[in-house]
Chains A and B, each alone.
Chain A
């Protein structure tokens, strides 16, 4: 970080309101947090330090709010289109939504080999929701936080943080991947039976005489699924957002071409990460539906 700090000092004049670049970026990477202060009362944190002091008993109002808003908007929009959909030649908006629907459905059909009517909706929800949350990082990094600060100033929160890309919050990505993990556990036990599920952990891949080794291999494998699923999405989006912030904080007036290049690159990353999340969900759930291996 030493070099970064040097650059930051050199570019300090460009920073808004005399902030250093480091302060600028830290501010952008903090959350608008509502939670329980160490002294026991609940309220909005005014500084990142206060937010950290709240620990687990707090909620990120900004990322959580955007996540809920985006998810609800997408589902209501799809329902709106679905209610007006006809089986005749589709046009305009219906065509657009149907193409997304068909894309997800074909992925589910090809990747998921069992009968479960709930997997399709799950994948549609996850795919579109994540795409839209990721897309928030194409909004210029200062627009929404500046508006939020202007509004927050009315209540004495003129320095509040306001994070707009939900998938750069590990709580959001891990919240989804842990949900998928619970589904993996649920469907595994449901389809293989508890015994079948546990025997997969204990007696594979080396048979029952190597049980400890099997457990050492299989249990981390199982837990790696939600962690990799959530952290992959988080890592990609966080890194992307950080680079946007660096460009914005360091380059001053010359940032536009760099922003453009990085945004174009991100046009690829945004759907790709959503697609990867969906495909892995399909693969994991498919594995959870596979019948238990033969007796050992």
Chain B
């Protein structure tokens, strides 16, 4: 056990190394650890937040789905209504059109009948005159009997 100056040298080295470690080594690792701890904490927090967000989004989507369903039902109802309305309108229009066509046709028919009657009248007077001429065996003055003929024709 020869104690020498070495013991003092080692003590000095001890304090110097301690100082160096405390100033230049320890903080480096302390910071890295702290940073990593922070990062992990942030990551976990973000994960928890994402989970919550997901839950909220799911709830929201269900809500929106419900609203959309209701809306869709409304739209379908409206469409159905509108459809039957259109059909009704079309029916009404068709009926009107048909009526109109019938009326027109009746008018045409009446006109035709009248025209035929006119033609018939004209021919009746000619036939009446021709018959009367045959009966009287002479010509009848058409102008003199005009009134009587017209009267006859209008009676037809």
Q: Which of B113-144 contact A (CB under 8 A)?
A: none
Chain B residue numbers with a CB within 8 Å of A170 are 1, 3
Q: Is A75 an interface residue (CB 8 A)?
A: yes
* 9-residue interface stretch from A119-127, A145-153, A154-162, A259-267: A119-127
Chain A residue numbers with a CB within 8 Å of B32 are 82, 85-87, 98
* A263 shortest CB reach to chain B, Å: 26
B25 contacts A75, CB within 8 Å?
yes
Contact of B28 among A33, A82, A129, A176 (CB under 8 A): A82
Contacts A/B (CB < 8 Å), 17 sampled? A55-B2, A60-B6, A63-B6, A64-B9, A75-B20, A82-B32, A87-B35, A101-B33, A102-B33, A117-B22, A120-B30, A121-B18, A122-B22, A171-B7, A174-B3, A175-B10, A179-B10
Main secondary structure of the interface of A (DSSP, over half): helix
* Cα separation A118 to B21 with both chains bound (whole Å): 9
Q: Which of B24-78 contact A (CB under 8 A)?
A: 24-26, 28-30, 32-33, 35-36, 38-39
* Cα separation A64 to B7 with both chains bound (whole Å): 9
Decide yes or no: A75 and B5 within 8 Å by CB, A82-B32, A175-B10, A179-B14 being known contacts: no
Chain B residue numbers with a CB within 8 Å of A60 are 4, 6
B18 contacts A122, CB within 8 Å?
yes
A59 contacts B22, CB within 8 Å?
no
Contact of B4 among A79, A129, A171, A179 (CB under 8 A): A171
* Cα separation A189 to B1 with both chains bound (whole Å): 31
B4 contacts A35, CB within 8 Å?
yes
Q: Is A252 an interface residue (CB 8 A)?
A: no
B17 contacts A129, CB within 8 Å?
yes
* Cα separation A178 to B3 with both chains bound (whole Å): 13
Contact of A82 among B29, B35, B36 (CB under 8 A): B29
Chain B residue numbers with a CB within 8 Å of A274 are none
* Cα separation A172 to B8 with both chains bound (whole Å): 9
Chain A interfacial residues counted at CB < 8 A: 48
Chain B interfacial residues counted at CB < 8 A: 31
* 19 further A-B pairs in the complex, CB-CB below 8 A; given A58-B6, A59-B4: A59-B5, A60-B4, A60-B6, A63-B6, A64-B6, A64-B10, A82-B25, A82-B32, A83-B28, A85-B28, A86-B32, A98-B32, A105-B33, A124-B26, A169-B6, A170-B3, A171-B7, A174-B10, A175-B14
A67 contacts B26, CB within 8 Å?
no
Q: Is A213 an interface residue (CB 8 A)?
A: no
Which residue of A121, A129, A172, A179 has the most chain B CB atoms within 10 A of its CB atom?
Answer: A121
* B24 shortest CB reach to chain A, Å: 5
Q: Is B154 an interface residue (CB 8 A)?
A: no
Chain B residue at minimal CB-CB distance from A87: B35
Decide yes or no: A175 and B24 within 8 Å by CB, A33-B4, A85-B32, A98-B32 being known contacts: no
B7 contacts A174, CB within 8 Å?
yes
Q: Which of A49-75 contact B (CB under 8 A)?
A: 51-52, 54-60, 63-64, 67-68, 71-72, 75
